[in-house]
Amino acid sequence: MTTMRQTTLDTLGLGTVLDIFKNGALPAETDDLVDQVFGKSSDRGALVISGASGIVGAGKTMQLGSRLESFGVPVVALDMAGAPDGIGRHYPGLTRAFGHEKADAIMRNIARLSYDGKQLPPKLKDYSPRLLIEAIPEILELKKAHYTIFRAEFPDIDIRSVTSGFPSSQLGVGITHPAFPHEINKVWEIVEPKSSATTQLLWALGLIPIPVSDDWSFVLDVLFCGLTQAALRYHEASNMPYWKIDKFVRKFVGPNPFRAHDAIGAKGANFLTWSCLHHLGKEYGALFTPTDDLVERKDSGLNWYPPNHFRPLVNWKLDADEQDTFKTWVLGALFQMTSVMLKEKRAHLSHMNIIGELCAQFSPGVLAHLRSLGADRVVGLVDAYHAFHPAAAKKAWHPGVFDNMDDVDWQQLYVNAEHDGAVGVITIGRESYNSDVDAELNRAIDWLRSEKIDRVILTGDFHLSTQLVGADTSEFFPALESTDRGFEISHGWSMTARRFHDEFEVSVGFVNGKRCWGGCLELFLHCHYMVSVEDATLSFPEVTLPVVPGVEGCHWPFRRTDEDGQAMVMNLLLGGRPIRASDATGWFIDHAGSLNDAITVAWKIASGVDHTYALRKVEEGPLAGVSGLLSHITPTKDPGADAARQAIVDTIRASCEATLADALTIQAKHSAGFMTSPAVKKGAVGSAATKTLV
Amino acid sequence: MKNGNSMFPDVRIPYGTWGSSYFPAWQTSALAEVNLGQFAGEAAAQILGKRHVPVGELDYMVIGSTVPWHWKFWTAPLVSSCMGRRLPGFHVEQACATGLQAVLVGAAQIQTGSHRAAAVLTFDRTSDSPVGVFPERRAYERTHSISDVWDNFGFDPAAGSSMITTAGTAARKYKLDRREVDELTAHRYEQYFAGRKSGFLDRVLFPFEVLNLQGRPMGTIDDDFGVRRVTLDGLKAMRELDTCVTSGTQTHASDGMAILLTTTREKARELSTRPEVDIQFVARSEIRTRPSLMPEAPTLAVQDLLQRTGLTLKDIAVIKNHNPFAVNDAIFSRVLDYDWHNMNNNGCSLVWGHPQGPTLTRSLIEGLEEAVDLGGGNVLVFGCAAGDVGIAAVFRVSEGAAS
């Protein structure tokens, strides 16, 4: 078997995506892993979360409790007797997510016990604790004492700390470091010598464990706390208020670091950021040393944004030179910090890149950002930063790590490809489609073609992307003002999609996650076959944004189905509502089934094993019947929605009445034209652009 | 002091670290609707930022304002918190002398050695000034209310007259000629518009976009709104409100802020965009004249200042007078035998308005900037204040300072 780069699954000891298809099953079953971690059902032990009333502890009690309840794993929520209730406040959210019955069952499975910090409650033994997730305050000696009393009572217990920054070597236990918001964020940074059953269980439960090296602080924390630090240094130099810095950081990097601190709760978040930077500063010098402002906010717990009665009054604009200065301060520092992590090989590059996107709104991920600039510009930027902040140049700067940006590990951050000599798999590890994914997808196709592979499965990566939501709409911001840019996106992405139809003998789009929507669905529909897990949803939500589907969604699906199917496609496009994959078989996709069943079918089709699925013909001439379907469209009372529906109708009519060869350009022109319309500017894309583009 | 002595020998104003907002006339801009203490703090941070002075370099703040603003009790620490960093400091108030008095107080903080770098931030919003309610047991009304700006302009509780009356009284005392006052006023407008045209004012005034509660623009303060060209004929045609006083020969209420820094000699070199420019405090004077003769008070303060320092007006390179009435300049010219054409270049408060607190700070900033253009020299800044008071100060800009 050959892969472009190491699969991220392999970092968990779970092999490759191609293995999944070849074996017709996932690499590990949840039941088996639950047995391994908590014991057989006849002897099932418990998960203990200590510090369970805190923000992290309570969130993880909810997240893991909701997933383990059906496996009969009791969850013990342990905290000091006087700790305020952090668990009960999650109950409303639990009922919203699961309904009353399931929420009650989850809460019934959580036993809340108190202790005094010195002695464990005698009752705890009744639960046979097997795994402890420690979420107590960030005081090293306190944590070590905590482990000692647990080990004395339960010698075989597996202990993991959620620590915000201590290395495993200091703690003496493994680390499962989660990301905010803890009840829903799936990402955990894992520190352990080799992938364990506990880590694999997190993956099997639908979470996203990411192995990282054992160093001070974690990848996400270095990026997020480091970005906060960079923003604070710019504030020190420029006087720009935090709220406005947040706007520019959002524009150039993605996150709102100061808003995020306030949203998490400034008192706790300020301390954690300070703690992270304090330890990093000791290790790596002035680059990370907390600023006076941060120290003051850590002590006071004050929010970064002004209170309501002092909402920002004076706007602050930057000219081109001042924007360059801003970028030098913020990106220069951030890139130097990233050089430290690259030097220390803290994580698989895809992990290091995506974690900021998944957990802190980096857009794109930091490595994709670096890659887009190129090594010379990055090094120049950091050098310029050192002119502003000379103390940072003395330590922790490794420009050499950017020398190998042309290597495949750098070039394929989001998309990977594997093959066994006959069948290839292309995996997408980003939930939304952007120009980076598009470029990497093309490189993956090129690679498979160069390896003489003409049968391929296109799918998610079974790890980092748990769904495929469609286009990254931030890519459309320039297109709001430029039809050329809109055309470029629509035309370019459509050309990529067509490669799955034109350049492979057999291509199978396989939906393995919760949903496949919008531009991703359009992409997958270009494959000769489409297979999905049955409970995934499929949708064209473009009409609700509104935008016009730009990857041939307005004609391609009509060309590959019958008359009845065309009417259903029309409903999908103009209604914007999702449907279950199991309701789409036949007229829209070829097969939907349970995960293992769908995997097996996809592999059969791709590998050419005897199967019953007929190849769909894509009509190359003008479609005669589609225009007739358009006469049934009735206006709504919403002018924006009507404008979108009309634009989509116009696109359907024009592109369906053309030949397949001409339709690509026609639909791209329509898509780009509508992008500059008032309806789009007033809609979700326009609003997001207004908020982001200060 | 002619020999170079200085009242605050260890204190400097760092060149190029100052700035002011435009002064829109009252009720003509978004400033009429906001907490001006907050505006002043946020605008000051931006001015210093654009001047490459981090707020972290400051360790003290003197604020000056005369019209109550929301939460004024919290004075300098609150205003500086709007700059991003809370600083110790206090509030100075002396009617229209505030803008100069605050600078002198800021300098004293440095000279005493208690602090190294002080921001002097002055501001006022005359638009929609607050109305104060004062319980008065001995008054038959039991409670007095006062609209802070207009009721005070209209009535000196010690002398009984209004501001405008003092101008008329002083004009009669000096037998001023209406024609001369009109000509002087027309010339002041020409000076202001010449300063606009030459770009001089762009070097000291900063535009600001003001945001509403939702964060959307509610206005841009990028002009001295309300200032329009006048002609001599137009001035002559105006109705006389008191002797030599018309609506054209007096200033108008406005809103705004201004900031400059006082610091040590060493720190000034560090902060200044042109370290070779040295700006020192030479001397100050403050006097009270007889009741209802306020417009002559500044002239008397200057007389006192010259006498004590041994300086003559020939030793002064730039003269800036806060002139709420054109009468003020005419009296100065008459008493000190000085050609009024040669003072108040690039504009003055008669033209660009009178937000009280920051008025003399802007005058000083413009005067210093002008002196630097001239290659250095002494700058005389003076003005009148409620209570028939005049204040004057001389600053020395090092020679050879031209770029």
Distance of CA B121 to the CA centre of its chain: 11
Check whether the bond before B298 is cis (ω within 30° of 0): no
Closest alpha carbon to B376 in B345, B403, B402: B402
At the topology level, CATH places domain B11-129+200-235+249-271 in Peroxisomal Thiolase; Chain A, domain 1 (3.40.47)
CA distances from residue A620 to A468, A565, B21 in whole angstroms, order as listed: 28, 17, 66
| DSSP string covering A106-134 | HHHTEEEEEE-SSS--GGGGGG-EEEEEE
- Are residues A449 and A360 part of one domain? no
ipTM here = 0.94
Task: Tell me the per-residue pLDDT of B300-353, one tens digit each, with 9 for 90 and over.
Answer: 999 999 999 999 999 999 999 999 999 999 999 999 999 999 999 999 999 999
| pTM: predicted TM-score of the whole model, two decimal places | 0.93
CA distances from residue A336 to A218, A288, A381, A544, B119 in whole angstroms, order as listed: 16, 10, 9, 41, 35
Query: Is A239 at the interface with chain B, CB within 8 A?
Result: yes
| CA of A687 vs chain B CAs: smallest distance (Å) | 13
Q: Which of B21, B29, B39, B42 to mutate to test the interface with A (most CBs of A within 10 A)?
A: B42
Residue A324 located in a structural domain: yes
Q: Quick check: B160 pLDDT over 50?
A: yes
- Are residues A585 and A476 part of one domain? yes
Domain covering B158-193+279-394: architecture: 3-Layer(aba) Sandwich (3.40)
- Are residues A317 and A235 part of one domain? yes
- Are residues A137 and A81 part of one domain? yes
Residue A605 located in a structural domain: yes
Nearest CB neighbour to B84, from listed A239, A311, A315: A239
H/E/C letters for each residue in chain B? CCCCCCCCCCEECCCCCCEEECCCECCCCHHHHCCHHHHHHHHHHHHHHHCCCCHHHCCEEEEECCCCCCCHHHHHHHHHHCCCCCCCEEEECECECHHHHHHHHHHHHHHCCCCCEEEEEEEEECCCCCEEEEECCCCCCCEEEEECCHHHHHCCCCCCCCHHHHHHHHHHHCCCCHHHHHHHHHHHHHHHHHHHHHCCHHHCEECEEEECCCCCEEEEECCCCCCCCCCHHHHHHCCCCECCECCCCECCEEEEEEEEEEEEHHHHHHHCCCCCCCEEEEEEEEEECCCCCHHHHHHHHHHHHHHHHCCCHHHEEEEEEECCEHHHHHHHHHHHCCCHHHCCCCCCHHHHCECCCCHHHHHHHHHHHHHHHCCCEEEEEEEEECCCEEEEEEEEECCCCCC
Of A155, A188, A211, at which residue does a domain stop?
A: A211
Tell me if A416 sits within 8 A of A471, measured CB to CB: no
Nearest CB neighbour to A313, from listed B34, B49, B83: B34
A238:B42 CB<8 A: no
Per-residue pLDDT band for B3 (boundaries 50, 70, 90) equals low
Closest alpha carbon to B22 in B250, B347, B352: B352
Of A363, A390, A408, at which residue does a domain stop?
A: A408
Q: Which of A239, A258, A309, A692 to mutate to test the interface with B (most CBs of B within 10 A)?
A: A239
- Range of A284's domain? 219-408
Q: What span, in angstroms and rounded, lies between the C-alpha atoms of A277 and A273?
A: 6
Tell me if A95 sits within 8 A of A123, measured CB to CB: no
Question: Which distant-in-sequence residues (6+ apart) come within 8 Å of B288 by Cβ?
Answer: B297, B387, B388, B389, B390
Q: What span, in angstroms and rounded, lies between the C-alpha atoms of A552 and A633?
A: 21
Matching fold, domains B11-129+200-235+249-271 and B158-193+279-394:
yes
Amino acid (1-letter code) at residue A35: D
The pair of three-digit structure tokens given for residue A470, joined into one six-digit string: 């469609």
Q: What span, in angstroms and rounded, lies between the C-alpha atoms of B330 and B339?
A: 9
What pLDDT is attached to residue A640?
81
Kind of pairing between the strands at B19-21 and B205-206: parallel
Contacts of B121 in chain A (CB under 8 A): none
- Are residues A154 and A130 part of one domain? yes
- Are residues A475 and A375 part of one domain? no
Residue A190 located in a structural domain: yes
Q: Which of residues 270-299 of A touch B (CB under 8 A)?
A: 292-293
Residue A316 located in a structural domain: yes
Residue A120 located in a structural domain: yes
- In Å, the largest CA–CA distance within chain A is 79
Contacts of A235 in chain B (CB under 8 A): 84
Residues of chain B in Cβ contact (below 8 Å) with chain A: 34-35, 38-39, 42-43, 45-46, 48-49, 53-56, 82-85, 208-211, 213, 215, 217
Check whether the bond before A364 is cis (ω within 30° of 0): yes
Task: Tell me the per-residue pLDDT of A381-419, one tens digit each, with 9 for 90 and over.
Answer: 999 999 999 999 999 999 999 999 999 999 999 999 999
Question: Which distant-in-sequence residues (6+ apart) come within 8 Å of B107 by Cβ?
Answer: B8, B11, B262, B281
Residues of chain A with pLDDT under 70: 631-633, 693-694
Domain residue spans of chain B: 11-129+200-235+249-271, 158-193+279-394
Residue A291 located in a structural domain: yes
Question: Which distant-in-sequence residues (6+ apart) come within 8 Å of A96 by Cβ?
Answer: none
Number of separate domains in chain A: 3
Closest alpha carbon to A365 in A277, A417, A431, A461: A431
- Are residues A157 and A66 part of one domain? yes
What pLDDT is attached to residue A617?
93
- Are residues A506 and A369 part of one domain? no
Region of residue B52 (left: phi > 0; alpha: psi -120 to 50; beta: else): left
Tell me if residue A142 falls in helix, strand or coil. Answer: helix
Residue A32 located in a structural domain: no
What pLDDT is attached to residue B282?
97
Of A355, A379, A408, at which residue does a domain stop?
A: A408
- Are residues A198 and A133 part of one domain? yes
What pLDDT is attached to residue B4?
67
- Are residues A232 and A171 part of one domain? no
Task: Tell me the per-residue pLDDT of B349-399, one tens digit each, with 9 for 90 and over.
Answer: 999 999 999 999 999 999 999 999 999 999 999 999 999 999 999 999 996
Per-residue pLDDT band for B400 (boundaries 50, 70, 90) equals low
What pLDDT is attached to residue A110?
97
Q: Quick check: B402 pLDDT over 60?
A: no
H/E/C letters for each residue in B46-94? HHHHHCCCCHHHCCEEEEECCCCCCCHHHHHHHHHHCCCCCCCEEEECE
Strand partners, B381: B320, B393
What pLDDT is attached to residue A638?
80
B210:A293 CB<8 A: no
A315:B217 CB<8 A: yes
Check whether the bond before A167 is cis (ω within 30° of 0): no
Q: Quick check: B401 pLDDT over 60?
A: no
Q: What span, in angstroms and rounded, lies between the C-alpha atoms of B100 and B262?
A: 12
- Are residues A277 and A182 part of one domain? no
What pLDDT is attached to residue B2?
59
CATH of residue A428: 3.90.226.10
CATH of residue A344: 1.10.1040.50
- Are residues A500 and A396 part of one domain? no
A239:B55 CB<8 A: yes
B46:A239 CB<8 A: yes
Amino acid (1-letter code) at residue B135: P
Residue A37 located in a structural domain: no
Contacts of B56 in chain A (CB under 8 A): 236, 292
